[in-house]
Amino acid sequence: MEPFQVASFMTAGVLIVTGLWALLMMDNILKKIIGANLIGDGANLVLISIGYRPGGFIPEVMHHFHATATPSNYSHLLQFEEFASNASYSLPFALVLTNIVIGASTLSVMLALAVVLYKKYHTLSVQKMFEGDE
């Protein structure tokens, strides 16, 4: 139970809750978009903290990965035993890289929509923009 990993999970929780509150409760449209950014950051931090191996919280899945290296064309990696037992599990990194890019593109579309809505309504307040809808 590595304390740094537990602290990262808690920070990620704070980020997600803060982002969710901003996304749903704030009146300014740009604050909602900042909230969306924070939710994405929190989810990425959860993903990376899960793979933190040195004494980590959910580590035991790939516990003795370096000892087996079963496919025979990977057997040349058996010499890196010290690295393999101290490095983090690297599969979540690929997921996070993809997710950062997805988040950035979604955010840019939302910002463009916010600019267009401002041009029509001349206000940044969501209350005034969506007031006639059921």
Partner 1 sequence: MMFDYILLFAVALSALMAIIQENLYKSIIILTFESFSLAAIFHFLLATDVAAVQAILGAALLPGLFIVALYKTTKGRDE
Partner 2 sequence: MLNNSTLIPLMVVLPLIMAILVNFLHQKDKSVKFISIVSLIVFVFIPVVTLYGVHLFSGHLRTGSFPEISKLLIPDVYMGIVYSYGSVQKILMVVLTIITGFTVLTVLNKKMISGVYIAMIFISLASTSAIMLADDIFNFFVFTEILVVAQVALVIAVQDTKSFKAGFKYMIFGTISGASILLGIALLLGVYGLLNITDLSNAIKAGGQLNPIALSAVSLLTLGWLYESGLFPFHIIKCNMYENAKPEISALLQVQSKFVLVAMAIILFRVFSGFALLKSVMLGFAIFTVVLGSVMALQQVELRKLLSFVAVSQAGLVAVGFGIGTSFAIAAGIFHAINDVLSMAILFFIASFVYDKFKTTKLEELGDGLQVVPLVGFVMLLATLAISGVPPFNSYQSEWRLIQAAAQAGVPELGVLVILLSVATFVAIIKAFFMIFMKPGPKVEVNTEVRGTMFKAIIVILILTCLAIGLFPNIIYDPIYNFVVSLGV
In the three-class reduction of DSSP (H, G, I as helix; E, B as strand; rest coil), residue 133 is classed as coil
- In this chain, which of 69, 96, 126, 129 binds partner 1, going by CB under 8 A? 96
Q: What residue type is 61 in one-letter code? A: V
Question: What whole-number distance in Å separates Cα of residue 36 and Cα of residue 42?
Answer: 10
Which residues 13-72 are close enough to bind partner 1 by CB under 8 A? 14-15, 18-19, 21-22, 26, 28, 30-31, 33-35, 37-38, 41, 44-45, 48-49, 51-53
Rounded to the nearest 10°, the torsion over CA 114, 118, 119, 122 is 180
Report CA-CA distances (Å) from 108 to 4, 34, 88, 120.
33, 11, 32, 19
- In this chain, which of 67, 79, 104, 125 binds partner 1, going by CB under 8 A? 104
If one asks whether residue 88 binds partner 1 (CB under 8 A), the answer comes out as yes
> How many Cβ atoms are within 10 Å of 21's Cβ, its own excluded?
12
Question: Is residue 19 a contact partner of residue 32, using CB atoms and an 8 Å limit?
Answer: no
| CB of 109 vs partner 2, minimal distance in Å | 6
Report CA-CA distances (Å) from 46 to 2, 28, 32, 41, 127.
15, 28, 21, 9, 33
Q: Which residues bind partner 2 (CB under 8 A)?
A: 16, 20, 23, 32, 36, 39-40, 42-43, 46-47, 50, 58, 60-65, 67-68, 70-71, 89, 91-92, 95, 98-99, 102, 105-106, 109-110, 113-114, 116-117, 120, 129-130, 133
Contacts with partner 1, residue ranges (CB under 8 A): 4-5, 7-8, 11, 14-15, 18-19, 21-22, 26, 28, 30-31, 33-35, 37-38, 41, 44-45, 48-49, 51-53, 87-88, 93, 96-97, 100-101, 104, 107-108, 111-112, 114-115, 118-119, 122, 124
